[in-house]
Amino acid sequence: MSLLIKNAKIINAQKAEDNLKDILIEKGQIARVGASIKAGSAKIIDAEGKWVMPGFVDLHVHLREPGREDKETIESGSRAAAKGGFTSIVCMPNTKPVIDNAMVVEGVIKEARRVGLVNVYPAGAITRGQKSQEMVDMYELKKAGCIALTDDGRAVDNSQIIKMAMQYAKMVDILLMEHCQDYLLTGGGVMNEGYNSTFLGLKPDPGVSETVIVARDIELAAYLGARIHLMHISLERSVELIRKAKEDGIKVTAEATPHHFTLTDDAVKSFDPNTKVNPPLRSEKDVEAVKRGIKEGIIDCIVTDHAPHNFEDKEVGFAEAPFGIIGLETALGLVITELVDKEVISAPQMVDRMAASPANIARLANKGLIEEGKDADVVIIDPEIEWEVKAEEFVSKSRNSPFIGKKLKGCVEVTICGGRISYQRK
């Protein structure tokens, strides 16, 4: 089946096209981009008044399958991704069992193909069982289809192991992604250390637990000439360390989540377990620094860290509740409302941080760009529509979002993945 998007205002990372164009999609690829393309047998989608962008790429998603299918499945997570405008997602390996061998990787890929809504790329673990004790078989995982490795949920605590892993991964040529948090330094903290944690009597996680790992990995990358991707950066100090590393030519990339550029630890005052995330929500100045980092490209990409948990798990005390919130369906609205609308970043910059740059980091060569010959992963959004986040409207299996009730601007109209419509707004 072929599709023809008419009157498209195409926005790529390099620039937003001035003139409206048509995009012809055939055989899963962008066949032609130009003025007044004849439809022929193609199904027509009129994009007048909308923005047409390359499909978003999320390097950080928890799909929970295998193991916790009560929270999310590859199918429900794919559906949520498509609704959020994502066409490629990288799923985290902290499942049960952990994605640390080819069999589990193949299982995930097979199920994702069956669902067929978005491209699901598994990330494998860096260490077996994510225990920071021995490296996984990296070649095996790469060959099975992993595009990155991470022990997300926890940093590789053992400095010797992460050094070896970076050295070995450089040879294998696979991306390592680090969950930046020294587990012991968090002191079992459940929220950001500061007046709020003192006031609320909740165990504090000092920010230095993050910056210590950021600094360690930057030093190791510099020493080894290896590359490292630093996950969910949340602090001003981390942004500054990464800025310096980039100036020094160290091969470091970084990501940040929408909740870390929208919410401060003031949100925790409600004791809403949906404000409990890892790393924790930080102070105002950190939120500003993360925004600045995204604007200046110090933080290369925006990821959701979509972390579904069911109601029962969150209906306990704040300290007992699991970390994490869902994010696939609110990311675009938060980016437009908090960053684009407030002129922190431009629309092309948004495309860079949400599509081009993550595609580049993950080496997805034919993605992140609307151009003839590229994969037909396209999202059409209406940047003007205002909507309210409602719990019952999530297609994710979980509803653990701190943004329920919040009014957001910007909404996905159509998501096209591999030339097929994977989501269309009713």
Partner 1 sequence: MSEWKKTNLLDLQDLSKEEIDLVFETAKSFKEVSAREVKKVPALRGKTVVMLFFETSTRTRTSFELAAKRLSADTINIAASSSALSKGESVLDTARNIEAMNVDMIVVRHRSSGIPGMLSENLKASVINAGDGCRSHPTQALLDIFTIKEKLGRMEGLKVGIVGDILHSRVARSNIWGLTTLGAQVTLCGPSTLMPVDIEKMGVTVNYNVDEVVREVDVLMLLRLQKERQQDNFLPSIREYAKEFGINSSRLKQAKKDMLIMHPGPTNRGVELSADVADGERSVILEQVTNGVAIRMAILYLLSGTHKSIETEQE
Q: Which residues are catalytic?
A: 305
Cβ 189 to partner 1, closest distance in Å? 11
Rounded to whole angstroms, the Cα distance separating 306 from 77 reads 9
Helix (H) or strand (E) holding 333: helix 331-335
Query: Contact, 363 vs 147, CB < 8 A?
Result: yes
Cβ 211 to partner 1, closest distance in Å? 16
- Applying CB under 8 A, the span of 53-61, 71-79, 163-171, 195-203 interacting with partner 1 comes to 195-203
Our finding on whether 199 is near partner 1 (CB under 8 A) is yes
Kindly tell me which residue out of 58, 75, 193, 352 binds partner 1, with binding defined by CB under 8 A: 193
Helices 236-247, 284-296: inter-axial angle, 10-degree rounding: 30
Our finding on whether 312 is near partner 1 (CB under 8 A) is yes
The stretches of 159-283 forming alpha helices (DSSP H) are 159-172, 195-200, 208-224, 236-247, 258-262
Our finding on whether 127 is near partner 1 (CB under 8 A) is no
In terms of CB distance, is 88 or 186 closer to partner 1? 186
In terms of CB distance, is 327 or 402 closer to partner 1? 402
- Applying CB under 8 A, the span of 197-205, 235-243, 255-263, 367-375 interacting with partner 1 comes to 197-205
The closest alpha carbon to 349, from 9, 13, 10, belongs to 13
In terms of CB distance, is 181 or 283 closer to partner 1? 283
Question: Is the bond leading into 204 cis (omega within 30 degrees of zero)?
Answer: no
Cβ 42 to partner 1, closest distance in Å? 53
Q: Tokens in use for 173?
A: 């040529």
Kindly tell me which residue out of 1, 103, 198, 248 binds partner 1, with binding defined by CB under 8 A: 198
- Applying CB under 8 A, the span of 168-176, 194-202, 211-219, 345-353 interacting with partner 1 comes to 194-202
Our finding on whether 194 is near partner 1 (CB under 8 A) is yes
Listed in sequence order, the residues at least 6 apart from 365 whose beta carbon sits closer than 8 Å to its beta carbon are none
Query: Contact, 348 vs 14, CB < 8 A?
Result: yes
The closest alpha carbon to 108, from 145, 82, 161, 83, belongs to 145
Query: Contact, 44 vs 289, CB < 8 A?
Result: no
In terms of CB distance, is 129 or 188 closer to partner 1? 188
Query: Contact, 221 vs 176, CB < 8 A?
Result: no
CA 6 to chain centre: 29
Of 313-332, binders to partner 1 (CB under 8 A) are: 315-320
Kindly tell me which residue out of 77, 204, 258, 358 binds partner 1, with binding defined by CB under 8 A: 204
Kindly tell me which residue out of 14, 139, 195, 223 binds partner 1, with binding defined by CB under 8 A: 195
Our finding on whether 189 is near partner 1 (CB under 8 A) is no
Of 252-281, binders to partner 1 (CB under 8 A) are: 271
At CB < 8 A and 24+ separation, what contacts does 139-144 make? 139/172, 140/101, 140/102, 141/99, 141/100, 141/101, 141/102, 141/105, 141/174, 142/172, 142/173, 142/174, 143/102, 144/102, 144/105, 144/106, 144/109
Cβ 318 to partner 1, closest distance in Å? 5
Q: Say how many residues touch partner 1, by CB under 8 A.
A: 19
- Applying CB under 8 A, the span of 22-30, 103-111, 188-196, 353-361 interacting with partner 1 comes to 188-196
Residue located via tokens 């030519």: 249
Our finding on whether 118 is near partner 1 (CB under 8 A) is no
In terms of CB distance, is 140 or 272 closer to partner 1? 272
In terms of CB distance, is 103 or 316 closer to partner 1? 316
Q: How far is CA 9 from CA 22, 224, 239, 370, 386, in A?
A: 9, 44, 33, 11, 20
Kindly tell me which residue out of 87, 197, 257, 275 binds partner 1, with binding defined by CB under 8 A: 197
Residues that bind partner 1 (CB under 8 A): 193-195, 197-204, 271, 312, 315-320
